[in-house]
């Protein structure tokens, strides 16, 4: 229609949980953030268009299982357990567990989580980190569907500490200077984590996206996006 030059790119369906600033969050009805910019750059490099929906965390994984989604981009940590059910790109971001807590609570290290009321986003590595310290079925852990609900619980004093990812905790602290939030990590208790783009098992996109991700890492595009979201 527009002449022979028009190239129809395949549109990939992407799921996310967009309450996880600065990686993905809603702004004027659009999913935005570091992950969005990175995914757009990588997809463009690989010759695809992406349609990103705020599916929610569990629905994202369900959509990958049923292959209704082509990929998930949600600050997803590459874990041994997830690798059994999903394929991941190469790591694109290093993270670790961070404890966010109110001024009046005394937490200096992971062990201090014991006996505290804890909030986590359900099914995330924050939950797994908290469980490592206080036990898997601890009644002290409240699990929230989204990261936003976890932070609301912290702000409203329904929990004394939230266990989440470092950059997200720091962003929340920065954006809510009057909330009286402190943050602490514990490198002895918690291992470094790496985020990957997540695909259905056996997806043919993995190799193409890895190649494109390498290009974006090499050609300065990644650095540009990083600077936009992490350097003030
Ligand atoms: N990195 C953590 C995990 O994979 C938390 C990710 C939560 N992401 C989100 N968009 N809410 O378990």
Q: Structural domain boundaries of the chain? A: 10-93+193-230, 97-184
| Ligand 1 midpoint to CA 193 (Å) | 11
Q: What is the value of pTM for the model shown? A: 0.96
Strand order in the sheet with 141-144: 141-144, 118-121, 161-165, 97-102, 181-184
Alpha carbon of 74 to ligand 1 centroid (Å): 6
For 97-184, which CATH superfamily applies? Answer: Periplasmic binding protein-like II (3.40.190.10)
Give the tens place of pLDDT for each residue, 131-183: 999 999 999 999 999 999 999 999 999 999 999 999 999 999 999 999 999 99
pLDDT score of 168 = 98
Establish whether residue 35 lines the binding site of ligand 1, counting it when its CB lies within 6 angstroms of any ligand atom: no
Q: What is the DSSP letter of 77?
A: B
Atom nearest to 147 CA in ligand 1: 11
Nearest to 200 by CA among 42, 61, 2: 61
pLDDT at 2: 52
Asked whether the predicted pLDDT for residue 6 surpasses 80, the reply is no
Q: How far is the CA of 165 from the centre of ligand 1 (A)?
A: 7
pLDDT (0 to 100) of residue 231: 85
- The preferred substitution site among 23, 75, 196 for testing ligand 1, maximizing ligand atoms within 8 Å of CB, is 75
In this prediction, does ipTM exceed 0.85? yes
pLDDT tens sequence across 49-94: 999 999 999 999 999 999 999 999 999 999 999 999 999 999 999 9
The CATH architecture of the domain made up of 10-93+193-230 is 3-Layer(aba) Sandwich (3.40)
Indicate if 97-184 has the same CATH topology as 10-93+193-230.
yes
- Name which residue leads in pLDDT, 2 or 55: 55
């Amino acid at each position: 229609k527009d002449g022979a030059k028009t190239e129809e790119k395949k549109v990939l369906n992407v799921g996310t949980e967009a309450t996880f600033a600065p990686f993905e969050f809603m702004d004027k009805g659009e999913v935005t953030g570091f992950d969005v910019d990175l995914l757009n750059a990588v997809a463009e490099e690989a010759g695809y268009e992406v349609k990103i929906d705020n599916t929610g965390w569990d629905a994202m994984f369900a959509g990958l299982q049923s292959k209704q989604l082509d990929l998930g981009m949600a600050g997803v940590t590459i874990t041994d357990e997830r690798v059994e059910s999903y394929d991941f790109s190469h790591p694109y971001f290093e993270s670790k567990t961070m404890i966010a807590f109110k001024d009046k609570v005394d937490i200096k290290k992971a062990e201090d989580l014991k006996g505290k009321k804890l909030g986590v986003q359900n099914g995330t590595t924050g939950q797994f980190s908290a469980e490592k310290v206080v036990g898997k079925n601890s009644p002290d852990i409240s699990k929230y569907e989204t990261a936003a609900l976890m932070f609301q619980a912290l702000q409203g004093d329904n929990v004394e500490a939230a266990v989440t990812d470092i950059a997200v905790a720091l962003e929340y602290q920065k954006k809510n200077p009057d909330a009286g939030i402190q943050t602490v990590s514990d490198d002895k208790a918690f291992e470094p984590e790496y985020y990957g783009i997540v695909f259905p098992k056996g997806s043919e996109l993995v190799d193409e996206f890895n190649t494109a991700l390498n290009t974006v890492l090499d050609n300065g595009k990644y650095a540009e996006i990083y600077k936009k979201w992490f350097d003030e």
